[in-house]
Structure 1
Amino acid sequence: MKKFYSLALLFIASLVLTACNEATIPDKTNWPLEDFSHINQDGEDFSLSNDVKGEVTVVNMIFTNCSTVCSPMTANMARLQRMAAEQDINIQLLSFSVDPEIDDPATLKDFGNKFDADYSNWSFITGYSQKYIEEYAMKNFKAIVVKPKNDPEVIHGTRVYLVNEEGVVVKSYDGLDVPYEEILEHAQILLNK
């Protein structure tokens, strides 16, 4: 009987240690993305079902005529892309234009080129209406996007979002003061599941 209790305690201890060692993402969100189908910086089709699902993706929202936060945010995404490559973490990046009537594919590509974007795993997308991106951002990312009349500056959030392989937003982060290592650590957790 003593041997049975010893084995039972050993089994329980191993379960506790396994649970303690399992990496998790704290304060996870659970925001499934609605399907979309748009075009990227090369004018090619880009959709949730064909290009995002099956990948771990970091998403942000920018526009090319932005005079404030979009250049720093894009520089931060470029740095994240370089860090992921250096650490051999297989993520993709996705930037939605919040000014789609101005940001055609060529304009987005010129913008991405300024930041040495590697388009093999970073897409800039457009090809929808202003109303669409305003509604999509709020519903899917809980983010405000508004283009005021008679003002070239689009009001939008500055968060970046980590999306899992099922197309669900699992976490959002500051897009200006970016916690690079935390994002990459969380991406690695998703990749290891």
Structure 2
Amino acid sequence: MKNTSYIGISLVILIFGIIFIPKIVDRVSNNDVVKSDRLNVNKATPRPDEMLYIEQYGEKKKVPEFSFVNQEGDTITNEDYLGKVYVIEFFFTTCPSICPVMNRNLVEIQDEFKGEKDFGIASFTIDPAHDTPEVLKQYAENYGVTNPNWHFLTGDRERVYEMANTGFGIFADEDETVPGGFAHSGLFALVDKEGYIRSRADKFGNPIIYYRGHVERNKSITEGGEEPQINILIEDINNLL
């Protein structure tokens, strides 16, 4: 009788464990908790080169609506980029640190897609008081910008910062303590032809979200331990095109 009771108790514990132990397994990657359903065998882990959507509150994240003036004095909106795959950056022309690296990287990307009418770049200045269309045009010429879909955009300061910090989650702010007077992350966002923000998966199957635009393409690794991502960005642009 005792053996029968032990067997019965063991079965109850086993069933309880299967039903009530949480299905969600937490892993930690880059200080972020990664959640995966260990019982959902039909949900395959995305490949590292698979293009994912960025989701927020269960919805695919799109580029927020915008309207700014470019280096030619023309008004450019998010609708002008529909039908194009494009990269977004936040920068300023007098930046003495990461912006030159970012824009050299973007010129290399531009050259990779020379003649591709469905590829573009949107560069939003975080110093619109200084970066007028005239200043932006000279800056573009200095960097050898030739892609007609690469717009250097300036406009209302509050709207620019709202775009960066809320619309994209790419940090930008005024900061007198840093070189140039502005702090920003140096990240690139990739947008598909329908206006959705996209990225590839990391090794855990989660979207990397943004690409390190401030790390030179030919660097193997930086002193801070960051690897360049321009080559994978080029691959992902190709995938979306």
TM-score, normalised to structure 1, is 0.78
The alignment partner of 1:189 has SS state of helix
Corresponding residue for 2:68?
38
Shift of 1:24: 2.6
Distance in 2 (alpha carbons) for counterparts of 1:56 and 1:134: 23
What stretches of structure 1 of length at least 5 have no aligned partner?
A: 1-19
What stretches of structure 2 of length at least 5 have no aligned partner?
A: 1-45, 56-60, 200-209, 216-227
| 1:1-193 alignment runs, 5 A limit | 24-25=50-51, 28-30=53-55, 31-49=61-79, 51-85=80-114, 90-129=118-157, 131-148=158-175, 152-171=180-199, 172-177=210-215, 178-191=228-241
Which structure dedicates a bigger proportion of its chain to helix?
Answer: 1
Q: Where does structure 1 differ by over 4 angstroms across 4 or more consecutive aligned residues?
A: 149-152
Q: Give % identity.
A: 25
Comparing 169-178 and 143-152, the one that deviates more = 143-152
Shift of 1:181: 3.0
The alignment partner of 1:46 has SS state of strand
Distance in 1 (alpha carbons) for counterparts of 2:185 and 2:99: 10
Distance in 1 (alpha carbons) for counterparts of 2:177 and 2:165: 22
Alignment CA distance shift 1:46-1:120 (3 Å):
same
Shift of 1:89: 8.1
Residue type of the alignment partner of 1:25: M
Task: State whether residues 39 and 46 of structure 1, in contact with CA within 8 Å, keep that contact through their aligned partners in structure 2.
Answer: yes
Q: How many residues align?
A: 167
Distance in 1 (alpha carbons) for counterparts of 2:142 and 2:101: 12
TM-score, normalised to structure 2, is 0.63
Task: State whether residues 120 and 147 of structure 2, in contact with CA within 8 Å, keep that contact through their aligned partners in structure 1.
Answer: no
Larger Rg: 2
Deviations 1:36-78 (CA, angstroms, capped at 9, x unpaired): 11110001010001x1121110111110111111111111100
